[in-house]
Amino acid sequence: MVALRLIRLIETHSDEISRNLSIRIRSSARTSGMQRVSEAETLAGLQELLQHLSEWLLTKTETDIEKRYNQMGARRATLGISLADSCWAVTMTKEYLWEFLQKQGFLRNPIELYGEMELLCLLNQFFDRALCYMVQGYEQGKLAAHPEQIRKKQREFNAAAFVP
């Protein structure tokens, strides 16, 4: 499988990719809220993902992805990081990985093109699911962080429901 060779290339260069991507995420205006996550935590999270990318793309279950990204979203919500900043960080990660592979210059023959297309599909599927689960976790984290607002809205709704 050509895609597996490309995944292994990312895993081999995971430290370099993580460092560069961490800098990009932490310095972008689109992800300014990510400054609330320590540099060490950002780097560790990226390294864990990239060092085990083959597992995340090929063997981890939907439940594994859901659990990790629900937790990530909830944590970012409690830190006060905007949902947009969190979404941009995920999108930037996917785009950076694709940039990295393109710079490696593997587009030599139809089989390698097919492998890159196969990997692109795997990356898209993974990051789309990660993004959705992160949003779910973010919403849950926001609700958990502000229970008094939920009760207030419920009281307002209940009061409005009984007005003739």
What are the pLDDT digits (tens) for 24-75?
999 999 999 999 999 999 999 999 999 999 999 999 999 999 999 999 999 9
Per-residue confidence band for 151, with pLDDT thresholds at 50, 70 and 90: low
Q: Are 120 and 50 in contact (CB under 8 A)?
A: no
154: pLDDT strictly greater than 60: yes
- Return the CATH number at 67: 1.10.490.10
- Residues with Cβ within 8 Å of residue 36, at least 6 apart in sequence: 79, 80, 81
The average pLDDT across 12-25 equals 96
Percent of the chain with pLDDT over 70: 82
Structural domain harbouring 18: 2-161
14: pLDDT strictly greater than 60: yes
The average pLDDT across 121-137 equals 95
Question: Kindly report the CA angle at 8 between 12 and 34, in degrees rounded to 5?
Answer: 65
158: pLDDT strictly greater than 70: no
Per-residue confidence band for 107, with pLDDT thresholds at 50, 70 and 90: low
What was the pLDDT predicted at 162?
Answer: 59
Task: Output DSSP code: residue 108.
Answer: S
> How many domains, the chain?
1
146: pLDDT strictly greater than 70: no
Q: Which amino acid is at 65?
A: I
Q: How far apart are CA 83 and CA 38, in angstroms?
A: 18
The average pLDDT across 96-102 equals 90
